[in-house]
Amino acid sequence: MRFKILGAVNEIEKIAEGRGIRILPYPNRTYGKGRWRKLKGVATVELEDGTIRAAEIHWYEAHGIGKRDFKIKGYVR
C-alpha cells in the first residue's frame, strides 16, 4: 500500500537496534552498512484513495543514510 506522510511523526520509540533487528542483512545489503535502528511512531498519512488517517508507522533509520522503508502497522484514533 502506498501512502504519503503528512506533517511530523510523533511519539517516536526505538523498537530494536543493531543485532536486535531480525532482518539486519536487508538494510545493510539494500542501503549500505550503518548503525541501523528500527523505530515506530504515529503520523497522519494520506492513503492512495485520498483518505487521511492517523497511523502507527514503522521504519529503519541509520545515521548518514536516513529513514527508509516506512510501513503502516495499524490505524489509531
7-27 pLDDT, tens digit each: 999 999 999 999 999 999 999
pLDDT over 90, % of the chain: 97
The number of domains in the chain is 1
Contact assessment for residue 70 and residue 43, using Cβ atoms and an 8 Å cutoff: no
In the structure, what pLDDT confidence band is assigned to residue 64 with cuts at 50, 70 and 90?
very high
Q: In whole angstroms, what is the distance from residue 41 CA to residue 67 CA?
A: 13
Tell whether the model's pLDDT for residue 58 goes beyond 80.
yes
In the structure, what pLDDT confidence band is assigned to residue 1 with cuts at 50, 70 and 90?
confident
For 43, the domain range is: 3-75
Which helix (H) or strand (E) covers residue 62, if one does? strand 52-62
Predicted TM-score (pTM) of the model is 0.90
Which helix (H) or strand (E) covers residue 32, if one does? none
Quick one: residue 11, left, alpha or beta (phi over 0 = left, psi -120 to 50 = alpha)? left
Q: Return the pLDDT at 39.
A: 97
Residue 41 grid cell: 511512531
